[in-house]
Amino acid sequence: MTRKTIMVVDDTPSILKTIVVLLKKEFEVVPFSSGRSALEYLKGSWVDMIIMDVEMPEMSGYETVLRLRTDHRMDTTPVLFLTSRNDAPHKLGGRSLGTVDYITKPVLPKILLHRIHAQLELCDYRRRLERFQEQTGQAKKAEADKPGKQDIEKAKTDKRNKQDKNPKTRKTIMVVDDTPAILDMMAGLLEKEFEVVLFISGTSALKYLQGAWVDMIIMDIEMPEQNGYETVIKLRADPRMDMTPVLFFTSQNDARHELAGLSLGAVDYITKPVLPEILLHRIHMQLELYDYRKRLEQFQKRTGEQIREIETDKRNKQDNDLKGTLEGFLERSRIGIETPADIRERKIILIVDDSYMILSTIEKILETEFNPVPFATADRALVYLKYHRPDLILLDVEMPEMDGFQLIEKIKADPGRMSVPVIFFTTRDDEESKLTGLSLGAADYIIKPVMPELLLRRIRLQLKLDDYRRRFLELRKMGAEI
């Protein structure tokens, strides 16, 4: 199996040597001490990923990436910034240049490798998806060439080609808040990455949506004339918007308000004030989930069309077996909101907390829907993880001997367990701890105490997202085989 090639660009010799030594056991590594020399190398060569410092003499990492993206061969190559700058504006600046990750020095080797693996896997998935879509397009073209279909298909193709000439559109996020300062802040945070439409009332937002489409809505609750709850109820009455993710962003820090918002179909509930990095993390997570759902539905539809073609053509005696296989696969991959009664085998939730009272309480909450596996120490949890792969891990932060941050580092360093979603469930409510947990790869960060209904909703969300990821990979694989 061919090894991936990673380019490392850093003007500090000691850092360059350290990264090369770390990566060369698993990858082909090409090191450079300046952006200029790296660009010169890329004129005649290809790499799978670039790890780049930001602050370098002559040509900074930002400038290097700007020049890199002008080469169409490298416009989707993942770039990971590794730098000592830890402020949010620089991180947002890196994201706007198309970088896939931004890691602050110093970083643990296992964490760096985990982030590299994750981005390479995502890049590989995108390329395979593009190939599959290309193959699907070719198959449709062959079908269109059949007698009697050329004129109809030509009209459809011309329309699609005209649309394809438009620039690649960014996702559109609507923000609804009656406080102008909040609207200004949200616009400044989001507009580098998304198209943003701002409204000061729910009424004006609904009027806009009568003739427009958005990918996500971020909404305040307390607004005059029509509050956020009333706006969402009216929004869901429009079939076009019944699945559009709505995120409540409010000063109402009450579990009952949160439950009310989620029961109306909101996908998340964030309390003001919040660090920009955390808000962006939650936005990205929900957009990713929404994107997976749409793509899965598209794949399901395409695969269904292929089944019908197989039934019509009857090219050989193996068609019936293939048909049965595909229909069974589609039945297993049906999209929808699952309830506990629909789950044949319960999901396994590993709970790690040094408080036996907490363990007992969480176990009782989860056992009606899941199979909880409780452990009071990180060491015992690691022994369990050597032989088992749970569907989700609920993890405390403050534990003796090995805390939750140290444990998640070990989990994410294990290739067989690194994709298991981890939720921190802790009393540590400071922003630094939240950022640390998310930067280590946690999927969510929940503060104790929490109402059981809210805890279950957050767990279900992460399980659903993980399930969509796995189903998408299965569908892509099955589609490629077709």
Whether 382 and 445 share a structural domain:
yes
Residue 18's pLDDT band (cuts 50, 70, 90): very high
Counting the structural domains of the chain, the total is 3
- Exposed (0-12), middle (13-18) or buried (19+): which is 307, by Cβ within 10 Å? buried
Average pLDDT over residues 177-189: 85
Whether 213 and 117 share a structural domain:
no
Least confident range from 91-105, 282-296, 431-445, 457-471: namely 91-105
Least confident range from 135-144, 326-335, 364-373: namely 326-335
- Residue 321, domain member (yes or no): no
CATH of the domain at 182: 3.40.50.2300
Whether 12 and 114 share a structural domain:
yes
Whether 108 and 176 share a structural domain:
no
Whether 116 and 177 share a structural domain:
no
- Residue 457, domain member (yes or no): no
Centroid of chain to Cα 87: 22
Q: What is the 3-state secondary structure of the chain?
A: CCCCEEEEECCCHHHHHHHHHHHCCCCEEEEECCHHHHHHHHCCCCCCEEEECCCCCCCCHHHHHHHHCCCHHHCCCCEEEEECCCCHHHHHHHHHCCCCEEEECCCCHHHHHHHHHHHHHHHHHHHHHHHHHHHHHHHHHHHHCCCCCHHHHHHHHHHHHHHHCCCCCCCEEEEECCCHHHHHHHHHHHCCCCEEEEECCHHHHHHHHCCCCCCEEEECCCCCCCCHHHHHHHHHCCHHHCCCCEEEEECCCCHHHHHHHHHCCCCEEEECCCCHHHHHHHHHHHHHHHHHHHHHHHHHHHHHHHHHHHHHHCCCCCHHHHHHHHHHHHHHCCCCCCCHHHCCCCCEEEEECCCHHHHHHHHHHHCCCCEEEEECCHHHHHHHHHHCCCCEEEECCCCCCCCHHHHHHHHHCCCCCCCCCEEEEECCCCHHHHHHHHHCCCCEEEECCCCHHHHHHHHHHHHHHHHHHHHHHHHHHHHHHC
- In this prediction, residue 458 carries a pLDDT of 87
- In this prediction, residue 343 carries a pLDDT of 43
Whether 264 and 204 share a structural domain:
yes
- In this prediction, residue 164 carries a pLDDT of 39
For the chain, percent of residues with pLDDT exceeding 70? 74
Whether 99 and 199 share a structural domain:
no
- Which residue is associated with the tokens 């032989």? 387
- In this prediction, residue 338 carries a pLDDT of 41
- Residue 458, domain member (yes or no): no
- Residue 462, domain member (yes or no): no
Give me the chain's average pLDDT, please: 77
Residue 2's pLDDT band (cuts 50, 70, 90): confident
- Residue 323, domain member (yes or no): no
pTM of the shown model: 0.45
- In this prediction, residue 352 carries a pLDDT of 94
Whether 181 and 115 share a structural domain:
no
Least confident range from 216-220, 231-235, 275-279, 453-457: namely 275-279
Structural domain harbouring 176: 172-273
Question: Which residue, of 273, 288, 307, is where some domain finishes?
Answer: 273
Residue 149's pLDDT band (cuts 50, 70, 90): very low
The yes-or-no verdict on residue 319 having pLDDT over 80 is no
Dump pLDDT digits (tens) for 24-58: 999 999 999 999 999 999 998 989 999 999 888 88
Least confident range from 41-45, 204-208, 241-245, 436-440: namely 241-245
Whether 113 and 203 share a structural domain:
no
Q: How far apart are CA 82 and CA 50, in angstroms?
A: 10
Whether 262 and 356 share a structural domain:
no
Average pLDDT over residues 296-313: 59
- Residue 465, domain member (yes or no): no
- Residue 192, domain member (yes or no): yes
- Residue 96, domain member (yes or no): yes
- In this prediction, residue 301 carries a pLDDT of 63
